[in-house]
Structure 1
Amino acid sequence: MKQRITYIVRDPDAFTPEQLVVKDDFFAVEQVSAAKEHRITLGLSELPEELRKAFAQWHELHIRWASGSPYQAAAPFTSRVSPGLHVFYTPQKTAGDGRLCPLLREIFDSSLGCESPKESFIKMPILSERFSMSASSQFYAPVHTLSDLVHYIQSKLCPPSSAFCTDAAATLHSASYLDMDFDAISHALIINAFWAKAPNASAHWTENISLRGPSDTIEIGVLNNEQNPDPEDIAFAGFLTVLGQDSQPKPTRFQTPTRHYPLPSSKRLSYRTSFAHPTGLHPTLVLTLPERNISPPDSTCKLHIHLTLPRTLFIDKYQFNDALFLSSHHLKSLRSLSGATDLEAPDWVIPQWGSAALFELAVPGSASPDSRIDPGWNVTIPMHLRYLPPFPDSGHRNLEVPWPVVFWACRAEEGTKMSNNPFDRIHLGYEALFGPKTRFMHATPAPIGNGTGRLVEVIQVPVLDVGKVKWVEAGTVGVVLAAFFGLCWILGRKSYAMGVASVEEEVRERKKAQ
């Protein structure tokens, strides 16, 4: 097992080397304010037999989980995905899907709507097969916590009576995001966990790190971001050490190209997500950005929004073929739409988890001349609600919609080798929709005012109230019976009138004959 632990110091001026304690097989940090990434690399031989057999049937598997709690990203960990569980998967051509869905339910959530990759996953759109940075299929589920994963690690992966392993697994409860990667070439499982801050009242890290086995190695870096004149690179300075080898911390400074680049302080951009009320059968997502901050960081940059929608909602792609319609909603184009996009199917016949959409946004020409007044730039995306199953004792049902990801997509210089970045993060669901030389600069979710405290919108939509169905049935039967008897009465009166008229006509004819 190999480990890499990286601390990105928030305030370099408040950090001193005296806050580090280093020995041959021991490392400690004391009251350090920093973001933290913990990377663990496991060979297949170190995994339980159940997982080894499963991984042997898969070509690649990439899992991305993001917390619904807002957090402040730190370079180089600025990339984002919508809150919840994202699974990107490519099967072996000569093997089946193995136990992928049962394992996902066991590890993350027993209620996951995952039956099999063929039924529940959606096909990933790929811009270029040659430069693909994407798996072939995708699954999403609104998993809010990693409680099931923590329990799985503690019960299935941790050695018996290993308090260290149990405690380490418990720290995932406070992680901002978690990545898990496997591919058939490396035959290794890589786990990355990121914390935007320490999970305590002071938000400072105080912890001890030590080797647990003779073959283990732990690389530790305590770094801070430095100003860099090269707009394509990001620079770091700090201390590096490797436990088990020459453990003395060595001062270091390096720079590297990065795929996900932080926005300059003068270009910082935040956004809020909401739904227009009442939502009804045609909810409209509203994305609000401060108008005065919407200026491209570079002339090649275009502003995008990537949506992850549950199958209960869908987008009608034909609406977005009209330039006037797009302009009225402050949109430039619908770049990509994949997944459950059937316009007529009700919710209960859709096997896939939902759909994913990428929009390019229109950017306002100029901000308000008064910097104190910023009404906000609202981008609206009309959606449609599928017919949902009846809900007992209520005429409404709550749906959860994760906040989208908003970013600038910019063209990088030729020759930029982003893969050299040791912190590079790919397989996020949208990079394959762009060229391989694209840089992403992410907007930050604004403080939440939706009442949930999470980057998830909860909307009420109308459904059939099961408790009132009997009144509908009784009323329908009553109307049908009333209509039937009314029609019989009218027909009877008409028949009687026709009979009387016929008798009178016959009497008149007889009188004429006499």
Structure 2
Amino acid sequence: MRERITFIQKLGDSLEPSSLKINGGVISGPEVKAVREDRVTLALEELPTELQSLLKGVHELHIRWISPEPYESVSPLLARLPPGFHLFFTPGKGDHTASNKLCSTLSEIFGHVNCSTPAESFTSLPSDRFSHSTAFQYYQPLETLSGFVQYAKHQLCSGSDSSCTARADTLAKASSLDISYDTISHALKVTTLWPYQRQPIHATSRPWSRTEVGVLSADKPATLDAHELGISGLLTVLGQDSKPSVTMFTFASRHRDAESAFSTKILEPVGLHPTLQIQLESNKPPATDAYCSPHAYFTLPKGIFADKYQLGDDLFLASKNLTALRYISQPVDLEAPEYVMKGWGSAVLLQLTPPKSDKAQPWTAEIPLHLRYLEPNRGGYETIEVPYPAVFWACTAEEGTKFPNNPFERVNLGYDGLFGPRTVFWHVEPRPLGGGQLQNAIRVPVLDLDKSAWVNIGTAVAVLVGFAWVAWRLAAVYLSSGYGNEAAAPVTEAGKEKKRQ
């Protein structure tokens, strides 16, 4: 087991080495304003038996949970996703056991996960674009990590380890949780991020693990290349170092800060075809020496969807400040009600069209959406939460630029596999107007079960009355036409002669 605890401050902040106290396997220091990232790396044999058996049949598994609460981050921890529970998965070859057990195991770990099997609930990711994408994707709204906290306390912590239990409780205030496994490393990485806020420096090592603690801040050395980020600060290996070591290093990064914000809202009137408006602070590209275009990446639960045919009309897109629909997961049934769908929903990547201007200015883009018929309930209304999208500028790096993995790299985000390997993502921070969560609530009318009996009776009466009216009108036409009298009249000799002619 290896553990890395990192406090990352903003550019210009720093900490004197003398302010850190190291006593054996414990480090402590003053309260600082920083982002905290904890990463634990576990070998396969260190995991519970049920997890070992599951992961042995998996080629790749990446879980990304994002809090619906707004949070501020700092460079280089800038990669974002829509709030909720995201899963990216590639099964092992020839072994379907892991696939069939995956959803039930996820429910045990995170609480109620709504999938049944990957074949029914997951959507396929495109394999014809870039090789760094997984095979399948799953998403569902999940507001808290309460299920995972309980699993960690009872399954991953021993009863006598109070420090482990206390650390598990801190997950309730985390902004994001990443869990990744692949067959190449045969190791499970669990990364937790807490937002930029004041927090004390304190960490304790374990006898059977290697614990590294860093108190770092963003830096801009003179030798920094355009595609690189700089970090400097103090590093300490607990139980090994008696004092912190000063360090500074640079690395290439695909995720950067656009230094702007956005918010979203549902336009009135809502109806069954709501429009989501994205309000952006600036139309100015973050990089002037590269081609850049703004994008919005959505993960829409199955109760709401985007129509790819509507988003294929260039004139319609231009009227909404949209350039093109770059990706939508398939299939998306345009008619099915929500309660008969087995898939999780749909992922959508839209390229936006900023207004052309010499000066930076705020602007908006509008995305038309469509609600499905929801399951009847008592009360006649249901609420759908539409999560904020991830908004970013995708810019091209110079020819020959490479982005190898860095210590803070975050990959398998869904949208990164839809771009080339030289794409740099400049992230726009979601910042709801007036506070609130990173989701928009829509109140949807549904069939009220308390009143449905009258609907059934009324429908039956309407059908009977309609049938009686149609039968009466047919009988009236039949009788008024005289066909009945003509049929009963005898045929005369003149008539017979006329027929023979």
Match of 2:365 in 1: 379
Matches within 5 A, 1:203-282: 203-213=197-207, 215-228=208-221, 229-263=224-258, 268-282=259-273
State the one-letter code of the partner of 1:204. R
Determine which of 456, 459, 468 is the counterpart of 2:442. Answer: 459
1:94 match: secondary structure: coil
Matches within 5 A, 1:94-113: 94-98=94-98, 99-110=101-112, 112-113=113-114
Distance 1:276 1:24, change over 3 A: same
Distance in 1 of aligned mates of 2:295 and 2:478: 72
Match of 2:495 in 1: none
Q: Check whether the contact 1:108–1:143 (CA below 8 A) recurs between aligned residues.
A: no
Distance in 2 of aligned mates of 1:45 and 1:336: 39
Distance in 1 of aligned mates of 2:34 and 2:479: 95
Distance 1:231 1:472, change over 3 A: same
Distance 1:323 1:488, change over 3 A: closer
| Range moving further from structure 2, 338-347 or 68-77 | 338-347
Distance in 2 of aligned mates of 1:73 and 1:113: 30
Distance in 1 of aligned mates of 2:152 and 2:183: 23
Give the Å deviation of 1:281.
1.5
Alignment of 1:55 with 2:55, yes or no, is yes
Distance in 1 of aligned mates of 2:37 and 2:474: 83
Give the Å deviation of 1:16.
3.4
Distance 1:367 1:400, change over 3 A: farther
- Pairwise CA RMSD: 2.5
Distance in 1 of aligned mates of 2:210 and 2:180: 20
Give the Å deviation of 1:494.
8.5
2:150 match: secondary structure: helix
Alignment of 1:343 with 2:334, yes or no, is yes
Distance in 1 of aligned mates of 2:472 and 2:252: 87
Distance in 2 of aligned mates of 1:91 and 1:328: 42
Distance in 2 of aligned mates of 1:491 and 1:62: 66
Distance 1:325 1:249, change over 3 A: same
Match of 1:511 in 2: none
State the one-letter code of the partner of 2:136. S
Q: TM-score, normalised by structure 2?
A: 0.90
Q: Check whether the contact 1:222–1:238 (CA below 8 A) recurs between aligned residues.
A: yes
Distance in 2 of aligned mates of 1:179 and 1:95: 25
Distance in 2 of aligned mates of 1:497 and 1:13: 97
Distance 1:28 1:466, change over 3 A: same
Q: Check whether the contact 1:25–1:210 (CA below 8 A) recurs between aligned residues.
A: yes
Distance in 2 of aligned mates of 1:365 and 1:328: 15
Give the Å deviation of 1:320.
2.2
Distance 1:433 1:105, change over 3 A: same
How far does the alpha carbon of each residue in 1:129-155 deviate from its partner, in whole angstroms, 9 at most, with x for none? 4xx222100111111111110100110
Q: TM-score, normalised by structure 1?
A: 0.87
Give the Å deviation of 1:279.
1.9
State the one-letter code of the partner of 2:253. T
1:204 match: secondary structure: strand
Alignment of 1:300 with 2:299, yes or no, is no
1:419 match: secondary structure: coil
How far does the alpha carbon of each residue in 1:263-288 deviate from its partner, in whole angstroms, 9 at most, with x for none? 3xxxx221111111222121111111
Q: Check whether the contact 1:295–1:363 (CA below 8 A) recurs between aligned residues.
A: no
Percent of pairs identical after alignment? 43
Distance in 2 of aligned mates of 1:135 and 1:380: 30
Give the Å deviation of 1:483.
4.6
Distance 1:160 1:89, change over 3 A: same
2:81 match: secondary structure: coil
Distance in 1 of aligned mates of 2:228 and 2:11: 21
How far does the alpha carbon of each residue in 1:276-324 deviate from its partner, in whole angstroms, 9 at most, with x for none? 1222121111111125656655431111110110111122111222211
Q: Check whether the contact 2:286–2:426 (CA below 8 A) recurs between aligned residues.
A: no
| Range moving further from structure 2, 92-101 or 183-192 | 92-101
Distance in 2 of aligned mates of 1:262 and 1:483: 65
Match of 1:191 in 2: 190
Alignment of 1:417 with 2:419, yes or no, is no
Match of 1:172 in 2: 171
Q: Check whether the contact 1:29–1:205 (CA below 8 A) recurs between aligned residues.
A: no
Distance in 2 of aligned mates of 1:272 and 1:242: 41
Distance in 1 of aligned mates of 2:469 and 2:333: 43
Distance in 2 of aligned mates of 1:14 and 1:154: 35
State the one-letter code of the partner of 1:255. T
Give the Å deviation of 1:485.
5.7
Give the Å deviation of 1:219.
1.2
State the one-letter code of the partner of 2:142. V
Runs of 5+ unmatched residues, structure 1: 198-202, 507-514
Give the Å deviation of 1:14.
6.7
Give the Å deviation of 1:493.
8.1
Match of 1:117 in 2: 118
Give the Å deviation of 1:344.
2.2
Runs of 5+ unmatched residues, structure 2: 490-501
2:168 match: secondary structure: helix
State the one-letter code of the partner of 1:121. F
